[in-house]
Structure 1
Amino acid sequence: MYDVIVIGAGWCGLVAAKTYLQVCPEAKLLIVDGDSSIGGTWSEDRLYPHLVAEAHHGLFEFSDLPMRKDSALPDGRIPSKAVHDYLVEYATKFQLTDRLRLNTWVENIRREPISPTDKGSQHWVITVAGTEGQLQAKKIIIASGLTSEPLIPALPGREKFEGEVLHSKSLGHPQTVDRISDSSIRHAVVYGGSKSAFDAVYLLLRAGKTVDWVIREGGGGPSMMTPLSVLGQPSFRLNNSRILGLLSPNPFETPNESSWWRRLIHLNAGRWAQFFIVAFWRIMAWLLQRPWGYDASPNGKQLKPMLGLDSLFWSPATLGVMTHPELWDEIHSGERVKIHRQTIQGLGSGKRVMLGNGHEFSADLVVCATGWHARHSFFAPDDQLTVGLPSETSFDPKSQIKWNDLQLNADRDILEELPILQQCPISPPPLRCEDDYHLYRSIAPSSETPSHERSIAFVGFLRTAGAPIVYEAQSLWAAAYLTGTLEVPETAHREREVARTNAWIRRRYICGRKVPFALFDFLPYVDMLYRDLGINPRRKPNVVAETCGLYQPRDFRGVVCEWQARQRGKEKRSH
């Protein structure tokens, strides 16, 4: 039996495993992943030509291993192969490769007694697809993230369609790369409006294909794509200063511990404070949208963010960085790509693709850049609720009443606490309480039962723009939690806090109504985690640098050692 099994070998899984081993060097730990190589989103089978990371060099690395400068392009962009190679280097440096078990697809996870005679002692049993054997562990860390299971929409008539249909996740498969380069693929359809759709269109155009790009008229519309640089700085760096977090209303400080700035600008904000916040975000949106000249062509108009200058703040669709700005020339010319704001109604015999407005065209290939399932199918539906994940099943009546009340009260309280959220242009739809994530700090089950006590944690279940910084903080918090060295509040407090965070996400980020988001608020979130751990999250030498300076992963170098030193000090004082 393993002490810990980490599920996922991408960014989240590798740093979770490394951190746990740093805290408990003697732990018997295993990392499992269904891919044939490490990397998760950046595994070899998910890399395709021209794929580039959005983060600038220096921001897409962990604190204790800088990425080599020669890995990046001259303008600081990072090719996908360099990201994969970096993660391989990380796993090698911290001796994780011997603990890896790849090509291991987790089929089911459940909690069972260790022996029939000892019902009180339980462990985790993991069933692996294609094998009769099972893995057993005292504790597990779920680090599979929110981009693991592709979502392909129902396309009526697909069985008659003679072309190919695939998800954008498959674009890196060698067979897919070969097929796209084949002359028999002449025309393709890309379905979706996210960053992955922009990348898929660019890939197909570079391969000499023509493209019909279909973005459904409902939903959040096309992603707002930011330029590579703004005001002379890489745009991705803007989010790595505290300025955006200071001007983004967030719940990561309670009203009792709020700074003077938060009390002045956000808590019970008056008309002038709200006007200032709205004006700031609209000016930022104008700067980020201006280079694309949406109105310069019919295609460009179809890519206008749904809420215009309010799209940055409210984020009806996920944001992205335009890593290939030359694509806009093709978009505006309209010679090889045509954009439709429609829904694919179905596929027909031969290679017909039918839109909701009755328009039809033929396609050799349909690429669904349609995102990811929010479900977590390796847990049974009832177990999903037990560990804090969304589920199609329902709580028992008593728990359902409790969570519905918590949800309603939290929504009322967050609107009172942060009144600017009352201006959200699209009100949240009615939501089952079972559709929420019930994870305290987005890491630990809020309502943990005695049989699960401190035996499961989640890393990477909050989408942010500061992934490595967030994952390192979550990993240390999870290790401290699982080893029993982190004090957490009682269950009722954790549940209220979870309901408050969920209410904020629904009101703050329109795109966060599917999966949890904290796009501009990741530094306040990280501050909260480090405060829990007793670590100073303010890493800059003075107030100006702290407020306006660029935060990079390297600023948090040594936090695990700091926490360990603090724990040793606590132990000495207790003796």
Structure 2
Amino acid sequence: MADIFDLIVIGAGWYGLAAAKAYIELHPDEKILITEAGSSFGGTWSKERLYAGLKSNNLKGSYEHPDFPMSEDVYGVKSGQHIPAETLHRYLSDLATKFGIAERTRFNMTTTQIESRPDDTWFVTMVSKQEQEEVLHSKKLIVATGLTSQPNLPTYAGQETFTPAFFHAKDFCARGDILHTAKKAAVVGAGKSSFDVAYAFATSGAKVDLIIRPTGQGPVWICPPYVTPFKRMMEELLSTRLLTWFSPVPWGDEDGFGVARSFLHKTGIGRFIVDNFWNQISNEVYEAHGYHDHPELFKLKPWNSAFWTGSGVGIHNYPTNFFDLVKQGQIRVHIADIKQLEGNYIQLTTGEKLDTDALICATGWKKGSGLKFVNFDTGLQKTEAQTRSLIDQADKEVRDMFPILRAQPVLRTPAPSKEPLRNYRFIVPTQSFFKRNIAFAGMVSTVTTAVFANAQGLWISAYLDGKLERTPKNQEEVIKKVMLDTQFQKWRYPCGYGASIPDFAFDSIPYVDLLLNDLGIKPHRKSTQITEIMEPYKPRDYKGLTQQWLESHST
């Protein structure tokens, strides 16, 4: 076995890169290794997962590391443009090189097991592309495998006799040649990735059948990139502090505007204003896409208010109008399940029989790290009865704190009952907080990825070093905070991911405030009170966080 590492980071996507950057800057002389199952940097934006036409939902300026601006003269992306996937891959690879991550990275290393040792160090078992097994030893561990590494591929009756291409959207890049050969394609899914695949086929000349199961959460919210009469970027609304007040969140007071939040969520007049705010957002999207003006478009109208949805939204980032393809019949929408596959045909539960050349499942991802842990429990380490009691207490606290959440939407199929990730600050497993030897980066869903990754990366390094300014006093306090935050997620985003993983929309900036307050860094980054409230937060507002923290801890 090789010498022990001071730190191993598993994963080289946005969060792994940001966590590695922060740790390297704070520990330049330590032995650090970054491992990646793929063959390149980027995670979702790695070379092997790109396909023609793929772009970011985010616009330029909101999807870059604060300390590494995506300059137009280098990357060719102008302000207000969506970022091509190839550019994002190049950018993240450049980031890794600039901050000393690339020289510490090993690709094509799949983690198969993580074992906790009696001395609180870790054995990490990995398998190379050549199927050679290796066990690495590390004092500390950052797990940054993300939420889009394990595809959720359904099975269907008769699929063994199905002759067309059949694969998950994750492999759309590797199977990209099918865009040039398929005349008919079927896409299963209701999220943004299903729209992306359907658009790619339709604009290549294929007839597309988009299949949305009636027992799911319904079509994704697709928002115009610019909204309101003032044509503000949609993503900017999510990161404007004033507008974050309209979203209930237990850590909202971290932004210093508790009085405004209390008025909006604890008074009848305030809740009336909040309701109207969310209705206005929903109606603007309905009108922009004309859901009520065409029977086929009506099938794509979201089934529940945007209030309950979280980060599971998309931005219309296509060169031409996606919805025109639906009106023209190039994309046909079916609200149905697949009953059976046979030969070239897909049999739907509606009785329709679809002839196709390809079936692509944009059916999401298996939530969680997907890693096998030995001698380590990532849960609460409580009995079923104890856990139930803790859940009931937290649920009551959430309902009392935010009465608006009592009126939960009626779902066609209730979310499956399962234990969510129980991590402190959505980062550290509950029972290991005081060991300071492991953290999970990026086990969250948010549209504010770059800002989250930066803040989490620095927080994790400070936490592992035992240098956070604010920490729980004991295990009981850890559990109480974890239960409140994770149960809040279930109540807040029943139409999103809240029941299983942390989901963020308008509550993203307050979460970053929370982490910065833990670090002892001032969360208000604007020059005046007016800009603090009215001007959207961008990655550039968090430039130099690591250096700022270092300077405050130099004595």
* Deviation of 1:319 (Å): 0.8
* Deviation of 1:519 (Å): 1.3
Superposition RMSD in Å: 2.1
Unaligned runs of 5+ in 1: 114-119, 389-394, 570-575
Bigger mean CA offset, 185-194 vs 282-291: 282-291
* Correspondence 1:103 to 2:108: yes
**Which of 319, 326, 338 in structure 1 is aligned with 2:321?**
326
**Which of 366, 370, 383 in structure 2 is aligned with 1:377?**
370
Give the Cα separation in 1 of the matches to 2:484 and 2:396.
10
- Equivalent positions of 1:483-522 (< 5 A) are 483-486=465-468, 487-489=470-472, 490-510=474-494, 511=496, 512-522=498-508
Give the Cα separation in 2 of the matches to 1:375 and 1:177.
28
One-letter amino acid matched to 1:472: N
Question: Hey, what does 2:359 align to over in structure 1?
Answer: 366
Question: Hey, what does 2:91 align to over in structure 1?
Answer: 86
Instruction: Identify if the C-alpha distance between structure 1 residues 17 and 473 changes in structure 2 by more than 3 Å, giving closer, same or farther.
Output: same
* Correspondence 1:351 to 2:344: yes
CA offsets 1:8-58 (integer angstroms, 9 cap, x no match): 111111110010011111111111111111100000111111111111111
Give the Cα separation in 2 of the matches to 1:347 and 1:256.
53
SS at match of 2:271: helix
Instruction: Identify if the C-alpha distance between structure 1 residues 150 and 53 changes in structure 2 by more than 3 Å, giving closer, same or farther.
Output: same
Does structure 2 conserve the Cα–Cα contact (< 8 Å) formed by 1:167 and 1:368?
Answer: yes
Does structure 1 conserve the Cα–Cα contact (< 8 Å) formed by 2:122 and 2:141?
Answer: no
CA offsets 1:464-522 (integer angstroms, 9 cap, x no match): 12111111111111101111212521211111111111121111112122322011111
Give the Cα separation in 2 of the matches to 1:238 and 1:121.
43
Question: Hey, what does 2:463 align to over in structure 1?
Answer: 481
* Deviation of 1:410 (Å): 0.4
SS at match of 2:194: helix
SS at match of 1:133: strand
* Deviation of 1:280 (Å): 0.7
CA offsets 1:151-197 (integer angstroms, 9 cap, x no match): 01121211110111111111112xx1123212xx2211000010001
Question: Hey, what does 1:72 align to over in structure 2?
Answer: 77
- Equivalent positions of 1:191-270 (< 5 A) are 191-230=188-227, 231-253=230-252, 259-266=258-265, 269-270=266-267
Give the Cα separation in 1 of the matches to 2:242 and 2:252.
16
Bigger mean CA offset, 190-199 vs 323-332: 323-332
Does structure 1 conserve the Cα–Cα contact (< 8 Å) formed by 2:254 and 2:513?
Answer: no
One-letter amino acid matched to 2:169: S
Give the Cα separation in 1 of the matches to 2:535 and 2:438.
36
One-letter amino acid matched to 2:155: A
* Deviation of 1:123 (Å): 2.7
Question: Hey, what does 1:38 align to over in structure 2?
Answer: 41
Question: Hey, what does 1:155 align to over in structure 2?
Answer: 156
* Deviation of 1:447 (Å): 1.5
Does structure 2 conserve the Cα–Cα contact (< 8 Å) formed by 1:296 and 1:332?
Answer: no
Please report the TM-score for the alignment, with normalisation by the length of structure 2: 0.93
**Which of 435, 442, 446 in structure 2 is aligned with 1:460?**
442
Give the Cα separation in 2 of the matches to 1:492 and 1:43.
41
One-letter amino acid matched to 2:34: I
* Correspondence 1:337 to 2:327: no
CA offsets 1:291-348 (integer angstroms, 9 cap, x no match): 11012322201101102xxx211118821101115121111121x2210011112211
Does structure 2 conserve the Cα–Cα contact (< 8 Å) formed by 1:464 and 1:520?
Answer: no
Give the Cα separation in 1 of the matches to 2:365 and 2:20.
25
Does structure 2 conserve the Cα–Cα contact (< 8 Å) formed by 1:8 and 1:142?
Answer: yes
One-letter amino acid matched to 1:476: L
CA offsets 1:523-542 (integer angstroms, 9 cap, x no match): 00000010011100100011
Instruction: Identify if the C-alpha distance between structure 1 residues 74 and 499 changes in structure 2 by more than 3 Å, giving closer, same or farther.
Output: closer
Question: Hey, what does 1:567 align to over in structure 2?
Answer: 553
SS at match of 1:295: coil
**Which of 526, 533, 549 in structure 2 is aligned with 1:540?**
526
Question: Hey, what does 1:50 align to over in structure 2?
Answer: 53
One-letter amino acid matched to 1:374: K
SS at match of 1:568: coil
Question: Hey, what does 2:515 align to over in structure 1?
Answer: 529
SS at match of 1:339: strand
Give the Cα separation in 1 of the matches to 2:211 and 2:393.
40
Does structure 2 conserve the Cα–Cα contact (< 8 Å) formed by 1:221 and 1:316?
Answer: no
Instruction: Identify if the C-alpha distance between structure 1 residues 79 and 242 changes in structure 2 by more than 3 Å, giving closer, same or farther.
Output: same
* Deviation of 1:449 (Å): 7.6
* Correspondence 1:137 to 2:130: no
Bigger mean CA offset, 313-322 vs 17-26: 313-322
Does structure 1 conserve the Cα–Cα contact (< 8 Å) formed by 2:144 and 2:441?
Answer: yes
Give the Cα separation in 1 of the matches to 2:523 and 2:310.
30
One-letter amino acid matched to 1:67: M
Does structure 2 conserve the Cα–Cα contact (< 8 Å) formed by 1:314 and 1:508?
Answer: yes
SS at match of 1:90: helix
Please report the TM-score for the alignment, with normalisation by the length of structure 1: 0.90
One-letter amino acid matched to 1:550: P
Query: Which structure features the higher share of helix residues?
Result: 1
Give the Cα separation in 1 of the matches to 2:515 and 2:525.
14
SS at match of 1:180: helix
Give the Cα separation in 1 of the matches to 2:18 and 2:206.
40
Unaligned runs of 5+ in 2: none
SS at match of 1:166: strand
Give the Cα separation in 2 of the matches to 1:256 and 1:320.
27
SS at match of 2:393: helix
Give the Cα separation in 2 of the matches to 1:414 and 1:497.
12
* Deviation of 1:376 (Å): 3.1
Give the Cα separation in 1 of the matches to 2:331 and 2:375.
46
